[in-house]
Amino acid sequence: MDLAGRRVVVTGGSGFLGRHVVTELEAAGAEVVGVGRADHDLLDRSAVTGMLEELAPDALVHLAATVGGIGANQREPGRFFYETALMGLQVIEECRLQRIGKVLVVGTVCSYPGNTPTPFREEELWAGYPEETNAPYGLAKRMLLVQCQAYRAQYGMNAVFLMPANLYGPGDNFDLVGGHVIPAMIRRFGEARDAGRDEVTLWGDGSPTREFLHVADAARACRLALERYDGPEPVNVGSGREIAIGDLAALVAAAVGYTGTVRWDGGRPNGQLRRRLGVDRARDRFGFEATVELAAGIAETVRWYEGRS
C-alpha cells in the first residue's frame, strides 16, 4: 500500500504507541486520524460502526487495548481479557463489513507460551499456555490473530498481525501502578534520588530477562508492514536482544543519576523467565530492523520524563 494520500485510522491513537504511529504515517504522506476512547468507545458496537462510516478510511491500524504491567494484569485479568478482545473483535468485523482496504492489528509478546524456548519464533505461538501473570491479556490478543487469519481465509480480507516486544520511550506511562518496567524504574529511581533515599525496592529477584523495543522503532515497523506486508502469518517485531532485569535496573539508575542500592522483593512475581524474539521474519517480509540502542533510548526517555513542564 502506498500511504501517500491515503486516509488511515489509528485506534488507540492518543496512547503511547498510537501517537508515534500517527506521526510516522503522517511523515509518509498519509492522512491520519488518531482515535481515542474519548472520541469513539470501541466497546460499543454502534460506535465502531459510526466511526468507520464517518471516517471512511482506506486502512486501519488497531492498537486500542486495556493494558498494564504485571500488577495491573493480576488485579483485573477479567477486564483486561474482555475489553481487549471485545474492542478487537468489533473493530475487525466492522472493517470487514465496510470493506476497509487493509487492517493492521498489533498484538503482544505476552501471547507466547510461558515455556517458549528463546528466541521466541512465531511457529511456537500455539505450543502452550501463556505465562500466568498476563495470560488473559495475551490470549485475548491471540484470538484477534485467529480472527484476522479466518477472515483472510473466508473473505479475502487483507489483515496482518504484528507482535512487538516490550515497548519504551518518550511519552510512556510512568504510573507506578499501571505502568511497565522501564518507566516505573525511571520514576522510582528519580523520586528516590530527589528525596535522598539510599534504597529502592523492585519486584522479583532481578534474574528474568526481557527484550525492549523503542517506540519509534515500533511505529516504523507498523508503517513498513502497512506498505509492504500482506500475509496471514504473525510477525515478531523486536530488537532481538535481551537484558536481565537486574542489569536493566543498573542501566536505568545510571541514566537517572541514582547512586543508592536496589532491594529485590522476592515475594513479588518475576513473570516469564526469559523473553527474546526471533526477528528474521520482520526483516525478510518487510525489511524491518530495530535501530535504537537500549542505553541511548533509556537516556532519551529519562530526558523526556524529567523535562516535562
Question: 211 and 241 in contact (C-beta within 8 Å)?
Answer: yes
Based on the residue annotation, tell me whether 137 is a catalytic residue of this protein.
yes
Task: Please state whether beta strands 243-244 and 209-210 pair in parallel, antiparallel, or not at all (unpaired).
Answer: antiparallel
Rg (CA), the chain: 19
The C-alpha cell at 294 is: 537500549
The tens-digit pLDDT sequence of the chain (309 residues) is 999 999 999 999 999 999 999 999 999 999 999 999 889 999 999 999 999 999 999 999 999 999 877 777 788 999 999 999 999 999 999 999 999 999 999 999 999 998 999 999 999 999 999 988 889 999 999 999 999 999 999 999 999 999 999 999 999 999 887 678 999 999 999 999 999 999 999 989 999 999 999 999 999 999 999 999 999 999 999 999 999 999 999 999 999 999 999 999 988 878 778 899 999 999 999 999 999 999 999 999 999 999 984
Q: What CATH superfamily is the domain 7-171+211-240+274-292?
A: NAD(P)-binding Rossmann-like Domain (3.40.50.720)
Strand partners, 261: 199
Task: Name the catalytic one among 82, 129, 137, 151.
Answer: 137
